[in-house]
Structure 1
Amino acid sequence: MGRAHPHQEFAVRTPVPADSPELCRMYGRCAPATRYHRFLSSSPAFPPGHLDAVTRPAPGVDALLVTPAGDRSHPVALGSTHPVLPGTVELGVLVEDVWQRRGLGRLLVRRLARRAGLRGAVALTAQAPTGRRWVLWLLRDEVGTLEYGPMSDTVRATARLVPPRRSRGRTDNCAPTRTSRNEFSNSSDSAPQGREALPERRSGKSPESQVRPCGGPLR
């Protein structure tokens, strides 16, 4: 895949079984550290159980992938949720290294949280290595206050979902989305109709929250 453009437009859609080979290639292009932060494993092979889960989802499992708008068969990011307790789903996000810092992690968290709420979930949980707690702050920014579990090598956080409003005549299908190089800043131009601009940066954040938005283990 060519070099990422700072104002690239992206499309977001649900994965299908035919995406499996390209998802494996995307995983292979990720650095070992990126794989570990997502799956707590740096194995060179995409976890087969997870691949089946996102391309052939069972009831309660949801997944979205991101592609460049001009090449919708080439995934560069993947996010998913699956139920772990009644009313609670676990979130996972993986963004290919070269496509990080473009807001794709934030976009997937926002979309998946909304879809989970529409499906009746009341809480969203995620896990990250203890040294990468800023990944969980992305969940806090997009969903709400976090409740942290015990810390060891990893830490888990849970956010309560606010039931989203259902808009008449509107679905959560994903139109092309414009992102900027800094995921915490809007482009200087407002987003065209049908496209989503990134939220403005919030004050009072630790500088750690400004680093790349790849997902934590979040399995």
Structure 2
Amino acid sequence: MSQVFEGYERQYCELSANLSKKITSASLLDGERKKQKLSEVNGGLEDAEALIRKMDLEARSLPPSMKATLLAKLREYKTDLNNLKTEVKRITSANVNQAARDELLESGMADTRMVSSDQRGRLMMSTEKLDKSGERIRESRKTMLETEELGVSILHDLHQQRQSLLHAHNTLHGVDDNISRSKKILTNMSRRMSRNKWIIGTIITVLVISIILILYFKLTH
């Protein structure tokens, strides 16, 4: 297994355990202490997301035999992170509902003290603005996550193209080696043919000289 992936994995497991404890602690608090604890948890969730992205990139850069196992583990960590986020949303929602109830109680008290309708209108406008701001923040975060996923996909495609190019290069190198060997074989065959040609010529010359000598001795005797 990749040592880099294992390092990220250890960091994530420690961070996840720490976040789980903080979430449990935050659920038992209220007021400013609860807000402070949730702020720490949100910061930790961002760090956890960063580790997940690093593990994803590292897993996709490894050979297929290792990549499948690591991506399966990564899916479990993503599920764990989503569960932590869900728990934080539940606590935050409970906190917001409590704040809303407090605001309603305060509004009711203000009504009993004859607070003007103009003040109530401004309160409603402020609440609507806060809701719109929260929605814009959620949309921006969603866009950022989609962009990161696209980046991971592009890096994965580039890695596959690189592997294809390396395979093609190795294939061409093998073809070049085969051509070189074939050229050497043909050169050796040519040399052997030339050598055999000289040997056959020498044999024919010797035979011709032998025939001439035999004829000469027969004619002179």
Query: What's the TM-score once normalised by structure 2's chain length?
Result: 0.21
Q: Which has the higher helix share?
A: 2
Higher relative contact order (CA 8 A, sep 6+): 1
Instruction: Kindly name which structure, 1 or 2, has the bigger radius of gyration based on alpha carbons.
Output: 2
Q: Which has the higher strand share?
A: 1
Query: What's the TM-score once normalised by structure 1's chain length?
Result: 0.22
